Structure 1
């Protein structure tokens, strides 16, 4: 047998190809399999969680129907329940009775989808199969439905894997392209520039490790005049894109946090009033005082309900801010309502409320304006250590100015400019409350700006603080 003599370049090339091709193939197979497994696992986790919600929903639904036994109610209400779940989840669902007969299918067709998952589910186990339907992959996930430890039947989710399958297919193509390119480039470089490969690859490895640790400012600087240099430039662009994307995620997370903080603060004021009056009622002997307290509780309860409805609406349309609904309202009446809400707390801390107000109609959002006034009064009670609060109105040019002045400890000058910033507050050691979140005045500023008004704060340390809420008469 004739001995084959290979040059060193050929040996390097064959050695590199012999290592590179199996490694790429192995990574290719492992990655695709892992990606497929993760898509399936993610889908199963989602459907498992949803099955618990469905169990609770159906159980509560059946409990309300006291005219029929649970099994009959489940059979009769099955189609209605299935329609609701399919509309809610936006994918196909089926409901089976305990014998395996289908009660309802949100999509009517002639395909027989009965599989072992239905049998397992009726026997009390959650089960699933992955099946191709009309050329598309689906997870058929079945979960038993119980009522008082008795199996009524099961629900099956027919969950499409379109997006996951698309990701797998795209990854399949991308990794195939990358694999082919890697082999081709390695073959060329092994023959022509084998001695120059180690340096750039080492540099790429070092920078990749730094980027993997979150150090996105690192750049690859390679001036080889070939594909490696182009790859380095593309890598830098990709790194910059990742950095920008992560920054945008952080900003979005902060917006969501701010929105949650705003919601918490919005809900706090009416809840405080409701709790205060509910605690007062058992100590009241006069029937009229009890009735008045119940009226305030009802008003604040309705305001709280309206606020919750608004928050739910904002959540549906994906907004993270509050809108104002301006109408003609008597500012004097709004002030009186706010004073009635906080009068118990003011009395508790022996704070005298002095009013100098008059009737005037303005184009404002009544509830939001009341919230602003309550917030300012609440801050005065909690933080100022005052003995009296003056609430007075005055007209100046085309404005109505509501001033809320306390004779408390005042605010340091270096803090005044920061009071309207989110997550900023002035916390006093001896104040009634040390738990302010610093969001109240920020919200008040936003509300007044949206009403074509403003809010300003003036203070002299150890003497007084004056908050001016400015309303413009023009629409």
Structure 2
């Protein structure tokens, strides 16, 4: 059963219970007041008739005359009375119906004390008011009887009216409550629809519930949750796409040199070749082997960077830069490139080995991109409370459409040049991961045939 249906039924049941309790209470109250009023009137009427009987006995002292007087008065005034002896023998009665001899109101009667009882006789309702009256030193039992069917009829009429009125009111109330319950729960239907859309993969669905109640707050929180879910889903999709590209590129990078190595080695094993071809084949096998060696080294670096237990220390940047220059001396000399280091001594809270790997990758890329007899500039300085390590070369540069992608694993702007230099397109990915570990940003500026500038900004 839906929530709006539960609300609808609960309100209908509450309405019926409340309406009937109030209706029955009012009818019963009116009935009790009418009965009390009729009892008081009957008591007064009883006193009035008893007084008249007593007066007539005192005046005429004739039972026959008094009885005759009572008959005339009862006919004239349409009243019902009963006049009995002390032993319940009937002297006069115009009740017109038989009544049980077991009459509680006639028991224990005393002078000047009236008993009354409500009694149903032959499907009709009566009030019986009885008392003892003394006439000439004799006690008689006198009862005044009044029909009060009209009170019960009014009560039944009130119940019938209540039932009919309840049906009309219930119809109107049911229609109103139907729309109110649907209106109240309509935001919940929107929330259910949105959750179903999200569960089916439609993550851009949002709620438009503008209210200050709990449903409005729930709607707002739901939208925030949906934003977070969509953000995480997109992030996971991007990560999955990156992983897939990584696997595809890694497979390609491994497959290509292996194919060449296997092909040239089969050639040497199955065919007699001259020394020149043999030398070229072995040279190519050696080159592809070195590429695989560098690829495995880079892959190990990437794997190690997924750890989160690096110990940061306060290190001197200039000492790291000078160490890197010395480690690249042979490569620099091969192309007659001059690595110029500038900047003042400054310390950073870093992991020294990771920082060495990052800057070494940047220098290695700069060497590969630079022409012979050129300069590479490696600087460290402070700017706006940030420490910046800047590497600038005057090499071939990178076009703008490639700048945002070169930090992706295995992405290479010029595959032929990268292959020639035993590159695998992983260096800048490693640099980005190391920068992230140190909460640093990497900025890249480049222009074709004018060079590239890379800044690592430590905040």
* TM-score relative to the length of structure 1: 0.35
Larger Rg: 2
